[in-house]
Structure 1
Amino acid sequence: MSFLDTVKAIPVTDLAERLGYSLVKKGRYYSLREHDSVMIDVQKNCFWRNSRFIKGFKGGAGSIIDFMMEFGEEPDYKAAMRRIALIYGIDGEKSPTIHYQQKAVPEITSKAEKKSKILTCKGVELPEKAKNTNQIFRYLLWRGISSKVIKYFLARKLLYEDVHSSCVFVSPHEDFACVRGTGKNRFLMDCKGSNYDRCFFFKGKANARTIIVAESVIDIMSIMTYFEIKGEWHGNYGYLALAGTGKINAIFTHLKQEPQINRIVLCLDQDEAGCAADERVLERLKKIEFPGRCDIKKPPVKSCKDWNDYIMTLQ
């Protein structure tokens, strides 16, 4: 079997769960709790989005590779294939080293049964811990993160090193976790069962009134490092990493749960997707008549895509 055939043989349903989505049965198909317009055909191993797919339109439908581009936020076909290969341990034409299971075709049930069987997020599957944190400490220092910020994460158990020497970031309530590789090949993965309604959220102090929002935990750590460089204590704020730009609903979840928040600082990437997400957030805040203040803060250097790019220029 060729490399492409091996990748395409992996069930879309298995990848969806590994990316942190919850499967819901819809007739003889599966959908996603987080995106109910998505339909996955397990027999043909393909998906489509009813909200986007139009005949002849590129995007919103296709194989597991297209699914990774759509929901794994990979920029192109080759990048999506490489990331799938990393997740499943595919090397050339060899079989995957990570086992997966094909979902059975769902039986058609009544509407009442469907409602009672909608999956909910009950926990996160965390990778096995390593005995030390040497590799992730070196890696994060290389990324420009201050040692104080790294120790802050370790002390609060927001971070640990897994047996593959990757960084595992875990939110305080263990309802969201993600993995970032420390090797030469870029590897990112949200842990199965992560709750995208909350994403990665923590508060430096219980009554934090300002929430700093970024796209990744590395960006959050970079912003905390920036505060430290300015001589400001980074523990004054709440922090939210959205796992990209498609999960802005988490902001509004925390506004409901943290009524003391009166300021939002959007520190999303300095690119088209980040700027578009800024606009979506501002529009929704206006719609709900948010009484507080919302600021947009991009890296001081325009050539830097995100806050980590900027912090690395300061080394």
Structure 2
Amino acid sequence: MEKFNEEELWIAKSVDLCEVAASLGYTVKKIGRYYTLKEMDSIRIYDRKSWYRWSLAMEGGNNGGSQIDFLMAFAGMNIKEAVFWLLDFAGYQRDMQSREKTVTRTNGLKHITLNKVEEEKEFVLPIPSGSNSFLYAYLTEDRCIDKRVVDFFTQRNLIYESRGYHNIVFKGNDKSGITRFASQRGVFDKSGKPFKCDVAGNDKNYGFNVVNEESHVLYVFEAAIDLMSYMYLYDDFESNKIALGMLHDAPIKTFLEEHPHITTINFCLDNDGPGRKATEKFLEKYRGLGYDVEDFSPPSGYKDYNEWLKEEKSNPVVENYVR
């Protein structure tokens, strides 16, 4: 079996198991402190990263474990396929050297070994729709983000609506303004599970970002929508910001290399198990590299900044707090 390094295995086991189950077509339901599946109510998902099937408690076997075990049990994958699937789901891209494979074929008594490398897909941005009407409706109505924040990104061509499915395209540019990364987010959640994916061929060393050379502070988020929600909550249009789209810090390292004026990093990751674990890891790492660091996660009780924003907007007592 192909070997994975410690960081890759950590990333694979940091993926949200509820999102994994939803992506496989299951309906995830929260019951108290755990989650279950509508289709298999004996399943228990704990901390969004481990599971157990109580209906087979006396039978043993593959009856619980990590995200890897879940894919093996319910998607028919082997260990290698499951880890690759989770890394891809997290938006992580392995080095090309680790993509080299050796294929041995038997022709009579002769063994022929072929070395081949997976082809790199061309990075092509989705075609714009020519209108951002679905984009604005989704972000301002469903996600409660102020139009002024959405205007900030559309006017800078950092987000746009794609033709056809009307997905929101989030662009990650390098220091020269060239788009190196892009992800898509569907706008029709109400009729089913949300559509989310990275554009094929993108560079995972970049993330959706906002740059201000006059600011020495960088705010780090998991998702672009949480970044935008933070901007609205704090009326912060001045600081540097980046959305990783995963829990791997390659985009942070690239951003710091391209913008060496940064001295302070505030981590605004999710209030769930993987987000908390990643925050602790990143705080230690970047403090050791000489940066001033702070855990700037949303308040206790809220998974992420957008969940916090929607609650603030729905509560007339505190709504005036939101600018």
For normalisation by structure 2, the TM-score amounts to 0.61
Determine the structure 1 residue equivalent to 2:110.
none
Determine the structure 2 residue equivalent to 1:150.
150
Structure 1 CA distance for aligned equivalents of residues 274 and 264 of structure 2? 22
Letter in 2 for 1:158: L
Aligned residue for 1:124, secondary structure, equals coil
Contact 1:124–1:193 (Cα < 8 Å) also in 2: yes
Contact 1:248–1:277 (Cα < 8 Å) also in 2: no
Determine the structure 1 residue equivalent to 2:180.
175
Determine the structure 2 residue equivalent to 1:282.
283
Structure 2 CA distance for aligned equivalents of residues 35 and 125 of structure 1? 27
Structure 2 CA distance for aligned equivalents of residues 140 and 226 of structure 1? 14
Determine the structure 2 residue equivalent to 1:293.
292
Determine the structure 1 residue equivalent to 2:14.
none
Structure 2 CA distance for aligned equivalents of residues 314 and 298 of structure 1? 16
Q: Does 1:190 align with 2:195?
A: no
Contact 1:220–1:241 (Cα < 8 Å) also in 2: yes
Letter in 2 for 1:313: E
Name the CA shift for 1:36/1:124 in 2 (closer, same or farther; >3 Å): farther
Contact 1:124–1:174 (Cα < 8 Å) also in 2: no
Contact 2:90–2:245 (Cα < 8 Å) also in 1: no
Letter in 2 for 1:236: E
Q: Which has the higher strand share?
A: 2
Q: Percent identity?
A: 25
Determine the structure 1 residue equivalent to 2:124.
125
Letter in 2 for 1:154: T
- Report the Cα offset of residue 272 of structure 1: 0.8
The correspondence of residues 229-244 of structure 1 with structure 2, limited to 5 A, is 234-244=236-246
5+ residue gaps, structure 1, are: 1-25, 38-55, 75-103, 229-233
Deviates more, 1:56-65 or 1:142-151: 56-65
Q: Does 1:210 align with 2:227?
A: no
Aligned residue for 2:179, secondary structure, equals coil
Structure 1 CA distance for aligned equivalents of residues 124 and 156 of structure 2? 19
Aligned residue for 1:261, secondary structure, equals coil
Structure 1 CA distance for aligned equivalents of residues 124 and 9 of structure 2? 23
Structure 2 CA distance for aligned equivalents of residues 72 and 209 of structure 1? 32
Superposition RMSD on alpha carbons, in Å?
A: 3.6
Structure 2 CA distance for aligned equivalents of residues 70 and 254 of structure 1? 21
For normalisation by structure 1, the TM-score amounts to 0.62
Determine the structure 1 residue equivalent to 2:320.
none
Higher relative CO (Cα under 8 Å, sequence separation at least 6) belongs to 1
Structure 1 CA distance for aligned equivalents of residues 183 and 196 of structure 2? 7
Contact 1:211–1:265 (Cα < 8 Å) also in 2: yes
